[in-house]
Structure 1
């Protein structure tokens, strides 16, 4: 996976979504999908511990995820799959690494899925058709349920040879999820009961195919360890109900503390989980209030669709919560080629002075050393050095920024968010604008300017007095490109943070303010002024409007002014309405009587006056216009 620089047409490329210019997931059949996305490997010398512990060891030590692993009952070899040839070659270099007192040996295996599938089904296109028909036959659209229970006992699938061996069986669910994603079913519930599952590796892509899943049944499988749910941690963020009964995990509990530990672990894995095996674990209303990201002012928000809204708001709320509490926990979202940069814009003009003793957000001593403002930093070397790449550099940059508090959950009206799909990377782009309060100086002040010189410096006196940089409020703009990672995890490919002086929120509150001003103006309309409904025809008998064709006192050849309005009209209208009335008469050439009717029927809205006038021009009588 490689992300290339920002600006000037730079883009991002990664193996999840791009392979030599071709989309890995845009294949014609399941065979090519499996071949291009799974490289078989074999592991020997792992018997000192369980296969699950060996796979976890490889992930920690070698930084490579081995998927869909299984043990060959005949040879005792631990088999699995990695995503690329580069990962497979790298694993070969790890041969000899010690695990549980023994040396592991890695070799490349042979991918027999394609051959066995072809032999059993006759051709690959028939394989896709069989799986597609199976999915459609198991989908219940009225309740949005995909029933995948006991698939190994389905007569149609077994007759096609999908489960003749461990190798082909381990490949069935990833292929099924891939095809289910292409069908684009509206699924909120999935039943995976009775599938002899010992872990979740073979169905890990469920979180990618159905990220908004709410109900899941894993009943009557062979799940024996609570740690299996680590596969879906931070992925199924909308899961509400989980069924686990009938698994060794639930059947072999020996004490109430074991039951409580299981509940705690599943709640930690799924933040919105409410019910487990029919038992309510949390207060749903209180949980929704805690996790909700309720924007009531839609004028300050833009989301491409409801799915993007759910993904973006959930991601941002959790991201900023960790940013304020523990930035180290954010590192799981960044990979070796993720990028972060920060810049300061001190020229922003809309500064609000809160009071004489408070900092208005104009001290940037903690930020300037790492600012990548391209209008100020002209050196190519400096520009490159101020882009943090990879977890280590990004965390160092994070630790050099002050500790903060964002009130996005308690005061969402102070923020503006926009998010839309980023199809080039199969991800989303999120932009958020708002403000934060600086709470404390950075944890890491290495290389930062942490004080402000206050005294003169010359050849006779090189010592200056310094004062600590004050903390205060600042505004920010942040843009994140979020893409899918291994096993459905979310990865921040690009992170751009702009810091500026604290400013008002008028940029996204102007529509709301304009509406309030219009309502206030309407409330100022005297009650004795008649306001006929928009559909009512013009009336010549208004008690407050003299039946005149023009405005007395107007200078011929010149437009009338407010001073030319009759006294009785002035007495019935406030100054704002008087100005609007004169403007409409000048622009439309209507008489005073018809001009006033037009304004009243348009509710004293200028734009609506123009629209109504254009719509009714053809039906107006000649006497409606001033001579």
Structure 2
């Protein structure tokens, strides 16, 4: 159930069922099942509910078949006395339906061709996030890429066969307004909170339509919208930052507007209220600043799916009151499990769940990571929340320098030749090291941290080949982007932008290379069923590439992992079994890594200088270190100093022979 009309124990307008039956002289059926009279086929409204107005009209016309068509009573004037609340006119109900569904562009009763506009209902959606995305720097502001993303994601999420189509799109400030059919709009709304080009998309219905669009709401629709604004204003406490939406079914203004009768349903009424809130608060920060607490107490809600739009409009609320509703189990709250991540207070008092699920508090604590108070009981302290947040944050793994366990210099020779040939001659590089069983894949990481002083590059030349498993989650697409065999790899490498890597020998500080032996690789000669030995090599570094068709260059970071094994008979002795390349925005290697590498290199050089001075002078390592240190580790000067002061050195300065 959802918010219902007034229930105070008395019938509106003083109407009593038994009195009405006594006046008519008919026996009461006492609510039992009665046989339906022959009144023609049942009629239903747009939501599939019985259209009571249609039935009444049909019955009236049948009971008075000879009633003259012309009547002296003016049209629209109710002539019979009724104890019922006045119903909104059919036109008003249609407009309410339009406002609720967000179909602002189709309020007009007829199109230019004379056909009813609601025969093909359209919905306007408001999308936020494009301006903050990396695609905003693309040509056209990234609008084309966004529309393609929305259509593709909406179709894949719903796993539907038909194509999702966005009919119109307009950019207005920080928002993009898109128009689609009602069915397609419902699928596009499922893409809400998805990541697009490094930014989170927020998608909501826009019943007010596109700002500045010529197809605006009619005067009656504007009147209804203004009525909803008045209701929200009367229920908003500025000092407490509280939006009180409790007992909506008893609100006289909402009942007068007909939200609890006719074709309108309470769920749609709630969506209409949230849509008006979206118009009142233009940004997410404005919502956070204005509304901290919301009360939905006493609305007969039994499933959060009926009020799901609350979490889209106010995802960052801190306090929520759901007391005096009809939630009976955890399933009724399941759809909020991964929402409202900032919620600190949740009230579920006087709900059946308190009795039917006694341990529901433990489950609620896991659903809402910042929850402190649940139904008046403290479930966490602020210190515990802070500790859990700290524990959930990833901690960087200390970098101790590369672990390079090469075998006969194979790894060093391969990587030095590979980087140079990849920049200069990819075709022959692939022909030398790759065969028909080799595999290659490339993944684009658009969310990695980047250097603040380096512009974020575009990814148009790479993204169509990207096999990033976080983004590409369908097995056929993953398989399609895994390139196997020499011909496929050569063809792909020709389509990737030309690159220039720093010289590995001259700029070792710009790379981090690991190399380890690996066992059990498939034997290309087929002689060892248990496999052969090889090595796995990972290199982290940087390169510059050139954008296709332009002279612009971009600096990027990369990680590349090779699995190397013995080549097939008659081929190169070394073959690449697997090659996985990951590209991302440029960022220097961790300072600890570079410092560790430098410290390791300096230490090795000093040890070599000590050993060499010991060999040439005959001094002990201790005196050799002292001599080098006094000359700031200048070997030639240290050796000259030794010869100059050799006679003055004590006997213990020299190493004794065995």
TM interval, shorter chain, is: 0.3 to 0.5
What is the TM-score of this pair, normalised by structure 1? Answer: 0.37
What is the TM-score of this pair, normalised by structure 2? Answer: 0.36
Structure with greater Cα Rg: 2
